[in-house]
Structure 1
Amino acid sequence: MTRPFLYEALPMRVRFGAGSLKSLPDEVRSLGLKRVLVLSTPFQKDLAREVSDQLGELSAGVHAEAEMHVPIESAHRAREVAKAAGADGYVAVGGGSTTGLGKAIALEFGAPIIAVPTTYAGSEMTPIWGLTEDGQKKTGRDPKVLPTSVIYDPELTLTLPVGMSVTSGFNAIAHAVEALYAPDASPIISLMAEEGTRALINALPPIVKDPADAEARSDALYGAWLCGATLGATTMSLHHKLCHALGGTLNLPHAETHTVVLPHALAFNQPAAPAAVAALSRALGGATDPAQRLWEIAGDLDAPRSLAELGMKEEDIDRIAEETTSRSYGNPRPITYDDVRGILHAAWAGKPPTANPAV
């Protein structure tokens, strides 16, 4: 019997397909926008300038200063630039850092965002914003930061480095995993989560073998879209709380942190989430232990598997455990400080995931 659920579709438009970036000027006009500020990281400044040139008189310029975890100082600068340029909308070209900066501006001014993802982050599909201030990452939900339109052009991911492609893909899979056992999960979201995981897991090995594999790149971006949509529609649990603490407090790299933590958080929750385990087993080709299988795949694809290699020190474990357990949130299995400390120690040391980690 299907249990009762609530499903609310997010109000946004998605345009998917190779070469779809060409539709950006039409997308801007369809929203009634006159001057949009193009956002990116410094690394993707050249692409942002190409997009600005494509927009012509519709562009209010380029602001290529997006940073990981959206420091509050970066948000203030971007808001000032947007105001000075008279921008009535924003085009976020890049990954989660750039989309996050667009959301930080929209949180203040409420203008529309058009997201043009070049990674598999998924932030473009959510009304979730995040800002880091004084070493703590604060997050929230607000409909006005949800991108109005998203243009998924797989051609823009062809130059995404292999290592970043893998960790970005695992970042997206993490959204789907937690959506499967979220307290507000629904049959529609669970279908999207399973399909998104399957698409990414099947696409990542071919991308590692041939980064220019257009079919695999398209499948990965499709999977990332579905996984991002599940993040926007459900409540995240232990995994995301751990990653927010690790990123905001220690400034660890976002996608890599998700990649390392995911198998450990999932292993801890698997005993309390049989339906999620069944869905992930199907998505992973029949794996009886999805957490262990994800850990093995990460190793096969040469992804990081320890927080130590990302720069975390062993003495940081207690600090992050305290922060992660300082507030209550939904999780399929009750959480204690010792549980989180054990999970963090296993992830720090690069040990195989286990349902009952102990230090």
Structure 2
Amino acid sequence: MTVTFTHEALPQRVVFASYQAAGHVADEVARLGAARPMVIAAEAGRSLADPLVAALPAAVRHTEVVMHVPTDVAERARTAAEEHDVDVLISIGGGSTTGLAKAVALTTGLPIVAVPTTYAGSEATNVWGLTEGGRKTTGVDPRVLPRSVVYDASLMLSLPVPLSVASGLNALAHCVDSMWAPRTDPIDQALALEGIRALRQGLPEVVRDPQGIDGRERTLYGAYLAAVAFASAGSGLHHKICHVLGGMYNLPHAQTHAVVLPHVLAFNAPSVPDTEQRMAAAFGETSAVQGLQRLREQVGAPRALRDYGLRETDIPAAVDAVLAAVPPNNPTLVNRENLEGLLRRAWDGRETG
């Protein structure tokens, strides 16, 4: 067998250590030679953010963080950075917070030090996203890749279990999509499979013992691997669907991914039996679909898009928008009929296996 591929790794420094974020954030800012930071953190995350920036030079605080990063919100953050002559961005929060920092970096070139407080994974990618007029636009740009990521699993201890589950399953979606995404290669797949193993072990521990650090660390490790794989492999069918649903209907990001994932896996797995068996082994089951279903049962996963605001009458327009974005190399040929069936199953919460 001849193996041929081109893999490009993204240049990023990662510091992973529990209960040490404050010191590492200060160290990373110093490494960049920065002196005028802007801290981007939602008001609801102040209790986590305050101790992390106490040792920094006087920092500008920006608290307007909105899901899916509307363009007007991004513009206000860019204006704030310019008015205060900021030289580094520190994002402390989940995917929406990281996304806003990326939106600022996209036009200013400012470096980002990212401190994730969920398992979103955006901090490890060079992908940006902005929403305007009900449409979410995404792109790839080296300017938005955080220079440093400070991972501290203790920051996840206050993340409620239901949101931890949704966020962790969003990370798992990065793994699954990376197995057949447009640019996938053996390195991406190896990272994704290890990510699946870590997440299927870590998430049930988080549910069993929300204040235990071991499950949080394992889940965070898996989320990082998932994001690295996704950044290289690109956006597959799952993410095209979720970006459309999020942008058009303002559905919650993590929960949407958690609901859609089993339906995309069941849709694509039969077309790639060898890949499916590798995923099954990572799940510790004979079938990848069954492995994901077992995990979802263990953690009480979100089940139906209708629970998060999608109306049945919204489905036809969503089908139209997704059809225009389907990756050409998706394992299963996508047409209007089977895509609508997938979305209807995700809408009403029908299980896949």
Q: Which TM-score applies when normalising by structure 1? A: 0.95
How many residues were matched structurally?
A: 351
Aligned residue identity for 2:224: W
Match of 2:128 in 1: 129
Deviates more, 1:26-35 or 1:253-262: 26-35
Displacement of 1:266 after TM fit? 1.0
Q: Given the superposition, is the C-alpha separation of residues 256 and 2 from structure 1 closer, same or farther in structure 2, using an over 3 Å criterion?
A: farther
Name the CA distance, whole Å, in 1 between partners of 2:72 and 2:52: 25
Deviates more, 1:28-37 or 1:104-113: 28-37
Instruction: Within 5 Å, give how 1:260-279 maps onto structure 2.
Output: 260-279=259-278
Match of 1:27 in 2: 28
Displacement of 1:165 after TM fit? 0.7
Kept after mapping to 1: 8 A contact 2:305/2:349: yes
- Provide Cα deviations, 1:183-241, integer angstroms capped at 9, x if missing partner: 32222211110111110111111111110111111111111110011111112211101
Whether 1:141 and 2:140 are equivalent positions in the alignment is yes
Match of 1:349 in 2: 348
Match of 2:43 in 1: 42
Displacement of 1:2 after TM fit? 4.9
Aligned residue identity for 2:6: L
Name the CA distance, whole Å, in 1 between partners of 2:2 and 2:150: 34
Partner SS for 2:114: strand
Q: Given the superposition, is the C-alpha separation of residues 2 and 68 from structure 1 closer, same or farther in structure 2, using an over 3 Å criterion?
A: farther
Displacement of 1:297 after TM fit? 2.4
Displacement of 1:259 after TM fit? 0.4
Aligned residue identity for 1:49: D
Instruction: Within 5 Å, give how 1:68-79 maps onto structure 2.
Output: 68-79=67-78
Partner SS for 2:11: coil
- Provide Cα deviations, 1:140-185, integer angstroms capped at 9, x if missing partner: 0001100110010111111111001111000001001111112322
Aligned residue identity for 2:53: S
Q: Given the superposition, is the C-alpha separation of residues 304 and 314 from structure 1 closer, same or farther in structure 2, using an over 3 Å criterion?
A: same
Match of 1:9 in 2: 9
Kept after mapping to 2: 8 A contact 1:5/1:184: no
Partner SS for 1:54: coil
- Provide Cα deviations, 1:279-327, integer angstroms capped at 9, x if missing partner: 2111111232x22432342233222111111111110110111110123
Partner SS for 2:55: helix
Name the CA distance, whole Å, in 2 between partners of 1:94 and 1:143: 21
Match of 1:324 in 2: 322
Name the CA distance, whole Å, in 2 between partners of 1:154 and 1:300: 21
- Provide Cα deviations, 1:97-134, integer angstroms capped at 9, x if missing partner: 00000000001101101110111111001000000000
Ranges of 4+ aligned residues in structure 1 off by more than 4 Å: none
Kept after mapping to 2: 8 A contact 1:183/1:235: yes
Name the CA distance, whole Å, in 2 between partners of 1:180 and 1:297: 19
Aligned residue identity for 1:112: P
Name the CA distance, whole Å, in 2 between partners of 1:293 and 1:116: 31
Instruction: Within 5 Å, give how 1:46-61 maps onto structure 2.
Output: 46-55=47-56, 57=57, 59-61=58-60
Q: Which TM-score applies when normalising by structure 2? A: 0.96
Displacement of 1:46 after TM fit? 2.9
% identical equivalent positions: 45
Question: RMSD of aligned C-alpha atoms?
Answer: 1.3
Partner SS for 1:276: helix
Partner SS for 2:54: helix
Partner SS for 1:262: helix
Aligned residue identity for 1:53: A
Match of 1:83 in 2: 82
Displacement of 1:328 after TM fit? 4.5
Match of 1:243 in 2: 242
Whether 1:110 and 2:113 are equivalent positions in the alignment is no
Name the CA distance, whole Å, in 2 between partners of 1:342 and 1:107: 37
Kept after mapping to 2: 8 A contact 1:166/1:301: yes
Name the CA distance, whole Å, in 2 between partners of 1:286 and 1:353: 15
Aligned residue identity for 1:287: T
Name the CA distance, whole Å, in 2 between partners of 1:16 and 1:74: 30
Aligned residue identity for 1:295: Q
Name the CA distance, whole Å, in 2 between partners of 1:4 and 1:263: 30
Aligned residue identity for 2:24: S
